[in-house]
Amino acid sequence: MSSFYQKFSAFLAENQLIPPNSTVIAGVSGGVDSMVMLHCLLTLGKEAPINLIAAHLNHQIRGSSADKDEALVQSYCQQNNCKFVVKSVNIPALAADTGASLEMAGHEARYSFFSEISAKYPGSFVATAHTTDDQVETILLRIFKGTGVQGLQGIPVKRDNIIRPLLFASKQEIYDYAHKHEIPFNEDHTNNDTSIPRNYIRQVLIPQIKSKVNPSLETSILHLQSIFSDVAAINREMVSEAFRDCLIDKSPSEITLDISRLKNYFNIIKYGVIRESVNLLNPKAVSISFSMMERLINLIKTSQTGKQIPISREIRALLNRRTLILRSDNFRPWSGFVVQIGKHYSTDYFDFHCDVFDPADFHALRENKNIEYIDLAKLPDRSLMLRPWQKGDRITPLGQRHSKKVSDIFVDQKIPLPMKKRIPLLVSGETIIWVCGVKLSDIFKVDSTTTKILKLTYKDKKL
């Protein structure tokens, strides 16, 4: 058994990448890296039970060369009794339609393809053939383009169900192993196109730096990556602690942070808390640039109450007295529905239920804005419905004789628009009984003549 395969096996064990009986979807392009990975996984399959699937995306970038890559991978899989899945995507056309670069369009198409296959095998892993050379190039590219602590971690060995079982090996070790075991592979001539930033770093920059500055550049960069992986882990812990410390309130559409507490932290922790907030509101939100972070920090420093900064198309930051509010406008509308006594209801935004309550226990109750009580006999036909707020809605608040616009009540309570959209109104016919968690109607109040009470319970869903 070769020393390279022993390193491969040890790397899998050290990082717990492939448990026994796993399904492994290997992304195989036909290049030397992925073909060596496939060979190693086939060898692993002879030692341990795994379900191995080779997945190849024909990107149609290099014409007949792309077809030759597909034929190579398919032939090798047939020779080694390995399952093979292929898909063709016109990456140049996709890039033109989306405005993305060829590299980015190809990346998105590949991982979408892997996800399609993975969805058919719950608990499966997707293996990609990244090497230490890829790690070095990625870190240098991020440094030149601008990055933070997270970016300097480089390519992770494992992220969700994606694993990188060759992230211990250099390109030269890969070539040596391929030649020794006569593994077929194709060379991608587009790797020589130095107009592509990554290729320029690989073909021009790294050789010059090694020649004139540091012959051990790769080792130095990998040491840096290892250090920053530890720094990033420490940073994540500190950010989590700071987020809990600064958090005042959170909901699916809004997060409120205490500015006086946030100001006590170093900027790198402030950045992390803001990123954590944005990710909670929208996990797919674009990353926040350094310049945007500086604008947000400056907003906090200057205490410009009422000032708003759009972070993305869906999320904006608002300074409100002593708080920083991060608000999402990516609202999912909900429809009204009939409510039956004794049943529990749950939506994306709230939980609700109502039950008949013993009047004898009523006077001993403590006030809770999310729990209210009404006279069951005062309901015209006992019909109940929960629906969203509508313009023109009016309620006669408890203790008052005249009705008031619900919109005015929201203003009085300083309830922001995203919250208004998801707070339910309990109604009977056209009459509003309760603006849940906000205001009860005087019409249905419990009094000395009440013989049957209906207990109403509402809970806003937090993140």
Buried b / exposed e across 444-460, counting CB within 10 Å, b at 16+? bbbeeebeebbbbebeb
More confident residue, 48 or 205: 205
Q: How far apart are CA 123 and CA 28, in angstroms?
A: 20
Q: Which pLDDT score, from 0 to 100, does residue 363 have? A: 67
- Rounded to whole angstroms, what are the CA distances from 225 to 139, 204, 228, 287? 8, 22, 5, 21
CB 201 within 8 A of CB 137: yes
Buried b (16+ CB within 10 A) or exposed e, 82-96: bebbebebebeebbe
Determine the pLDDT at residue 218: 94
**Are 110 and 130 in the same domain?**
yes
Q: What is the CATH number of the domain that holds 47?
A: 3.40.50.620
463 pLDDT more than 60: no
- 206 CB-side CA count, 13 A: 23
Q: Structure tokens of 348?
A: 């994306």
Domain that holds residue 278: 252-328
* pLDDT at position 60: 77
pLDDT tens digits for range 73-115 = 999 999 999 999 999 888 888 778 877 777 788 888 899 999 9
- Please check the confidence at residue 239 and state whether its pLDDT lies above 90: yes
Q: What is the pLDDT of residue 366?
A: 59
Report pLDDT digits (tens) over 425-457.
999 988 999 999 999 999 999 888 888 999 999
Q: pLDDT of 347-384, one tens digit each?
A: 988 999 999 988 877 765 557 889 999 999 898 777 89
Buried b (16+ CB within 10 A) or exposed e, 175-193: eebbeeeebebbebeeeee
Q: What is the dihedral of CA 131, 135, 138, 142, to 10 degrees?
A: 170
Closest CA to 106 of 1, 185, 190: 190
Q: Which range among 219-223, 324-328, 344-348 has the greatest average pLDDT?
A: 219-223
Based on the fold, state whether residues 314 and 345 are members of the same structural domain. no
Other beta carbons within 10 Å of 284: 7
Check whether residue 27 and residue 84 sit in a common domain.
yes
Q: What is the four-CA torsion angle of 56, 57, 60, 65, rounded to 10 degrees?
A: -20
CA angle 125–127–131, rounded 5-degree value: 150
Query: Is there a single domain that holds both residue 55 and residue 169?
Result: yes
Contact (Cβ atoms closer than 8 angstroms) between residue 315 and residue 278:
yes
28-56 average pLDDT score: 95
Task: Specify the pTM.
Answer: 0.71
d(C-alpha 391, C-alpha 396), whole Å: 16
CA distance 200 to 194: 4
Query: Is the torsion defined by CA of 441, 444, 447, 451 positive or negative?
Result: negative
Is the residue at 147 inside a domain?
A: yes
Residues 51 and 149 in one domain: yes
Same domain, 68 and 208: yes
In a domain, 433, yes or no: yes
> Is residue 132 located within the same domain as residue 12?
yes
Who contacts 412 (Cβ-Cβ below 8 Å, separation ≥6)? none
- Do 296 and 198 fall into the same domain? no
User: Are residues 356 and 277 both part of a single domain?
Assistant: no
Give percent of the chain with pLDDT exceeding 70. Answer: 97
Given a contact cutoff of 8 angstroms between Cβ atoms, the answer to whether 199 and 193 are in contact is yes
Angle ∠(183,188,189) on CA atoms, nearest 5: 135
Which of 239-248, 304-313, 413-422 is most confident? 239-248
Contact 125, 93 (CB under 8 A): no
Extract the tokens encoding 47: 């030692």
- Cα–Cα distance measured from residue 404 to residue 211, given in angstroms and rounded to the nearest whole number: 78
* Residue where a domain stops, chosen among 276, 302, 328: 328
pLDDT of residue 250 exceeding 70: yes
pLDDT in tens, 111-128: 999 999 999 999 999 999
Q: In what order do the strands lie in the sheet with 453-460?
A: 344-346, 350-357, 453-460, 371-375
Kindly report the CATH number assigned to the domain that includes residue 444: 3.50.40.10
Least confident of 100-104, 183-187, 280-284: 100-104
Using an 8 Å Cβ cutoff, are 339 and 458 in contact?
no
At residue 345, what is the residue type?
A: Y
* 54 lies in the same domain as 124: yes
Average pLDDT score over residue span 163-171 = 96
Q: Is residue 244 part of a domain?
A: no
Alpha helices per DSSP H over 54-213:
64-79, 91-98, 102-119, 132-145, 171-180, 197-200, 206-212
Question: How many structural domains does the chain have?
Answer: 3
Domain assignment present for 169: yes
- Shared domain for 7 and 141, answered yes or no, is yes
pLDDT of the residue at 296: 86
The whole-angstrom separation of Cα 367 and Cα 378 is 22
Residue 312 and residue 349 share a domain: no
